[in-house]
Amino acid sequence: MDILQILVSESFWAASLRIATPLIFGVLGALLCEKSGVLNLGIEGIFVAGAMAGWMAVWLGLGLWGGVIVAASAGAFFGLIHAILTVPLGLSQHVSGLGVTLFATSVSYFTYRTALPNVSSPPRIEPFRALDIPILSDLPILGPVLFQQTALTWLAFLCVGLVWYVMNRTALGVALKAVGDNPSSVDAQGLSVYALRMGAVIAGSALMALGGAFLTMSAFDAFFFGMVNGRGWICIALVIFASWRPGKALLGALLFGAFDALQVRLQTEVGALVPGQVFLMAPYILSIIALVIAARSADYPRALLTPWFKGQR
Amino acid sequence: MRIEPRTRSSRALTFGVPVLSALIALALAAVPLAFAGANVFTAYGEMARGVFGSMFAVSEMLTRATPLIFTGLAAALAFRAKLWNIGAEGQLYLGAMAAVAVGAGWIDAPGLVLIPLIILAGCAAGAAGMALPAMLKTRFGADEVVTTLLLNFVILIFLQMMLEGPLQDPMGLGWPQSSPILDQGMLPPLMERMRLHSGLIIALVCAVVAQFMLARSVWGFRLRAVGENAAAARHAGIRVNRSLMSVALVSGALAGMAGVSEVAGLKGYLTSDLSPGFGYTGIVVAMLAGLNPLGVVVSAIFIASVFVGADSMSRAMGVSSYLADLVVAMSLLCVLIGGFFARFRITRVRPGQESAA
């Protein structure tokens, strides 16, 4: 059976992991924002900004890790805008997020076009290379799958652990979760609701931007218009699927990556029977179905979408 | 410092804030313009000439504003009920597909019959596109923001499938485009040798009707009540889900109409680049209008001016045309902040007074 052959192939699992990496960053970032009570629909634009800023930093000679830092800073900047609009000003999180997406996307495209006015094929950069650790890479199956990945994939895994640890094992995490559930109780303890929420949105947005940076600095080696192509929105759906838990977020992103890698391979196998577009549609339809199923049992942050003002009940 | 709601919002504030916000956004656009190395004053001069410089320019601008009025109305009505329809882009394409399916030769009827049929089909398709997310929301509690967004992608892929399959023009040499709409099915043009078409008239009528329905009808009252406080509305005996469903259908139909107007008013046939994001821009149009249907007309004209003006400016000055998107995005952010100051005032509180709050 063809599917079985695909499922045991190393290249399939390596590709799954590669497709999942930007989603892991994105879901973690969105999760962090939403845990504090702020929905961040700026994610799609922040992906574009991260991809553009990271690429441009490397192109200008700041080095790969310099690019990562620049991308995260760009994400934090757009996160700051969203945080100011939604936290102290308490504006509609939906509309502010869409505004940030439009703004971040157009700033990135404008900057790219201004820097390179008449370039038909985008200039390439030297991207992250696969980490090759001598003995571990020689392990059967696991070796090639894990050690065909670049440093950014490892960073994504590290971030999952970090976010899980902060949320479940630190006082900051307790405060963060409380601010998304019952901000008044956090205020009563003398902590600043504004600072916690804004901090979470800024940090979460920096993480999202790394997802974008992975696209230009690891997956492809150039920046294209429209390269993010809905990955940010998928992350918003995946957060609900993960019911706001970092571990399940990782699982969701990996499942999604595996499914996407599978559809590419199936498409070449049975392409004659079914139009290719059916496979392209599938991830979005699956996301919607997952959303409907998860919405029933979702353990969502109680104060999500609700602005909080000091001195008002 | 303390933030407190204004007890009453003056008329001057409601109308002044969006205008001021738009002007601030235009002024802020001078920064990227200078960054791109253009003379800011010459650039704005070119922009104004591109919009108001000739009859042709004005007609082009109004042609661009027409779909934005439809998508702006679609967003404004839904948002009034706090139904976040982000799927106007997809609903627009559903409307356009239905228009082509009916109008490109399937039915050969005189224009008086064919045009209404095309419009009806387009609106029905758009409404159907919004009915699904609205049902998922009212039945299962699935967030409509995410479902409408994801459906945009599904519909775009479906469109490509249709344009390479059933809707493909057999005379089109294999290009992914539909057969042209029959001549008598096209919305009549408004002026000789101009692209402006009667879709604009339909859009204006829709805006007036929407304004009337929202302000004066029981339907509009229910819709506003649901938007302001769904729990209170339910308590008062309003069937919230039914209200949401009805506004969802109207919103989808208006977005579908944007597709009909573009394909049967302007282009004549359907390709997958019919809309340069009219669905998403409609959200900005609606916000800039303060979700007011008549205001949508004004803000659609403003946004269309930015796009058309920036296009001609970028040609004249060699500045990237993404500047237009940048101005539109900045207008949205400015109007959001402006809206905050229209609703709240910030008062200084002396240290000792703080606890009194």
pLDDT per residue as tens digits for the range A196-222: 999 999 999 999 999 999 999 998 889
User: 0.95 cut: is pTM over it?
Assistant: no
Q: Return d(Cα B192, Cα A221) in angstroms, integer.
A: 50
- Whether A308 is covered by a domain: the verdict is no
Q: Return d(Cα B351, Cα A251) in angstroms, integer.
A: 50
The answer, yes or no, to whether residue A157 has pLDDT greater than 50, is yes
- Whether A32 is covered by a domain: the verdict is yes
Does the beta-carbon distance from A109 to B320 stay under 8 Å?
Answer: yes
* Domain housing A285: 3-117+149-295
Q: Across residues A179-191, what is the average pLDDT?
A: 92
Neighbours of A6 (CB within 10 A): 17
Contacts A240 to B, Cβ<8 Å: 143, 146
**Contacts for B351 with CB less than 8 Å, ≥ 6 apart:** none
Does the beta-carbon distance from A106 to B325 stay under 8 Å?
Answer: yes
- Whether A58 is covered by a domain: the verdict is yes
Q: Which of B140, B165, B287 comes nearest A292 by C-beta?
A: B140
Domains: count for chain A: 1
The answer, yes or no, to whether residue A170 has pLDDT greater than 70, is yes
Report helix, strand or coil for B137. helix
Q: Across residues A121-145, what is the average pLDDT?
A: 76
Q: What is chain B's length?
A: 357
Q: Return d(Cα A178, Cα A170) in angstroms, integer.
A: 13
Q: Which of B2, B145, B160 comes nearest A311 by C-beta?
A: B2
> Searching chain A, which residue's CA lies closest to the CA of residue B31?
A107
pLDDT of residue A272: 61
Does the beta-carbon distance from B333 to A105 stay under 8 Å?
Answer: no
Q: Which of B140, B326, B336 comes nearest A95 by C-beta?
A: B336
Does the beta-carbon distance from B154 to A230 stay under 8 Å?
Answer: no
For A127, the enclosing helix (H) or strand (E) is: none
Contact B259, B274 (CB under 8 A): yes
Taking the Cβ of residue A287 and every Cβ of chain B, the question of whether any pair is shorter than 8 Å is answered with: yes
pLDDT of residue B141: 86
Q: What is the DSSP string of B258-291?
A: HHHHIIIIIISS--TTS-SSHHHHHHHHHHHTTT
The answer, yes or no, to whether residue A137 has pLDDT greater than 80, is no
> Searching chain A, which residue's CA lies closest to the CA of residue B339?
A91
- The more confidently predicted of residues A302 and B124 is B124
CA distance A206 to chain B (A): 20
Q: What is the DSSP string of A25-77?
A: HHHHHHHHHHHTT---TTHHHHHHHHHHHHHHHHHTT--HHHHHHHHHHHHHH
Give the tens place of pLDDT for each residue, A20-33.
999 999 999 999 99
DSSP 8-state code for residue B197: B
Report helix, strand or coil for A269. helix
Give the tens place of pLDDT for each residue, A140-151.
666 667 777 888
Contact A152, A131 (CB under 8 A): no
Question: Domain of A54: which CATH number?
Answer: 1.10.3470
- Whether A125 is covered by a domain: the verdict is no
pLDDT of residue A292: 86
Q: Across residues A165-183, what is the average pLDDT?
A: 94
Q: Return d(Cα A15, Cα A19) in angstroms, integer.
A: 6
Segment A151-155 long-range contacts (CB within 8 Å, at least 24 positions apart): A152/A21, A152/A68, A152/A128, A152/A210, A152/A213, A152/A214, A152/A217, A152/A218, A153/A17, A153/A18, A153/A21, A153/A214, A153/A218, A155/A68, A155/A210
In single-letter form, the type of residue at position A59 comes to W
> Searching chain A, which residue's CA lies closest to the CA of residue B324?
A106
- Whether A54 is covered by a domain: the verdict is yes
- Whether A310 is covered by a domain: the verdict is no
Scan for tokens 């008086």, then name that residue: B112
Does the beta-carbon distance from B340 to A233 stay under 8 Å?
Answer: no
Q: How far is CA B42 from the centre of its chain?
A: 30
Does the beta-carbon distance from B160 to A277 stay under 8 Å?
Answer: yes
- Whether A259 is covered by a domain: the verdict is yes
> Searching chain A, which residue's CA lies closest to the CA of residue B138?
A292
Does the beta-carbon distance from A94 to B141 stay under 8 Å?
Answer: no
Contact A150, A22 (CB under 8 A): no
Taking the Cβ of residue A151 and every Cβ of chain B, the question of whether any pair is shorter than 8 Å is answered with: no
Q: Return d(Cα B280, Cα B75) in angstroms, integer.
A: 9
- Whether A41 is covered by a domain: the verdict is yes
Q: At A116, is the pLDDT very low, low, confident or very high (cuts 50, 70, 90)?
A: confident
Does the beta-carbon distance from A110 to B320 stay under 8 Å?
Answer: yes
pLDDT of residue B107: 83
Best residue of A27, A94, A240, A312 to probe chain B, by most B CBs closer than 10 Å: A94
Contacts B36 to A, Cβ<8 Å: 110, 114
pLDDT of residue A203: 97
Distance (Å) of CA A48 to CA A51, A54, B25, B279: 5, 10, 22, 20
Scan for tokens 């994105």, then name that residue: A26
Report helix, strand or coil for A191. coil
Q: Give contacts of A 251-280 with B, CB under 8 A.
A: 275, 277-278, 280
Q: Mean pLDDT of residues grouped by 10 in chain B (357 residues)?
A: 68 80 90 88 90 92 97 97 95 98 88 95 98 94 90 95 90 88 93 91 98 96 93 92 96 98 96 94 92 95 93 87 90 88 72 48
Q: Return d(Cα B186, Cα A169) in angstroms, integer.
A: 65
Q: Return d(Cα A35, Cα B233) in angstroms, integer.
A: 29
